[in-house]
Amino acid sequence: MHRHFILHKPYGYICQFVSNHKQNKLLGELFEFPEGTMSIGRLDEDSEGLLLLTTDGKMSERVRRKDVEKEYYAQVDGLITEEAIELMQQGLEIGSGEAMYKTLPCKARRLDPAPDFAPRTKKIRDDRHGPTSWVSITVTEGKFRQVRKMTAAVGFPTLRLVRVRVGDMHLGDLPLRGVQEVEDFKLYQD
């Protein structure tokens, strides 16, 4: 019988249980997961939020499908404009050289008021460096650092990135470092 978990991944952890680098903080330090547990849909070390974990290797393929939405809240440098949001919604070229590609159209909107997340464990910056704003970006693809590259491409670099939803699985009010076992991953509405 397979087991499934959701985790509110904190900043500074990698989505692995084993690493050759002693300085890396690993998921196993947050909770004692059963043997064979793996993360689905990684978050990089600088990103936070909803992480799905399972002992079922076939589950990963279901989550990576192009019809499963992944929603992120990004705190960006500056007051994001409607023009920048529209450019992201339409899809835009990101990357460079042979690694350049055009993103698929996505959903994007300004978040006002800003989400009420606990302060990040590593301070982002002082308010004296100028204003920031929050945007929700929902994608169906998951290229390397895609959301960060998208906001940078429209002139608003990401300062903090939190995944809040994968399919119909929501971060909700799960506390930072919190783990919840779930019966199954609800990726689509019934």
Supply the DSSP string of 22-60, one letter for each residue. TT-B-GGGT--PPTT-EEES---TT-EEEEEEES-TTHH
pLDDT at 183 over 80: yes
Mean pLDDT computed over 1-20:
90
pLDDT at 79 over 60: yes
H/E segment holding residue 17 = none
**Any catalytic annotation for residue 77?**
no
Residues 6+ apart with CB under 8 A from 154: 80, 83, 84, 87, 88, 92
Q: How confident is the model at residue 189 (pLDDT cuts 50, 70, 90)?
A: low
CA distance 7 to 176: 8
CA 57 to chain centre: 20
pLDDT at 62 over 80: no
pLDDT higher at 51 or 120: 51
Mean per-residue pLDDT of the chain: 90
CATH 3.30.70.580 range(s) for the chain read: 4-63+170-182
CATH fold group of domain 4-63+170-182: Alpha-Beta Plaits (3.30.70)
Residue range 139-162, pLDDT digits in tens: 998 788 899 999 999 999 999 999
CATH fold group of domain 70-166: Alpha-Beta Plaits (3.30.70)
- pLDDT at residue 185, rounded to an integer: 75
Q: Which residue is catalytic, options 44, 77, 127, 184?
A: 44
Going by the DSSP 8-state scheme, the letter that residue 21 receives in this structure is: -
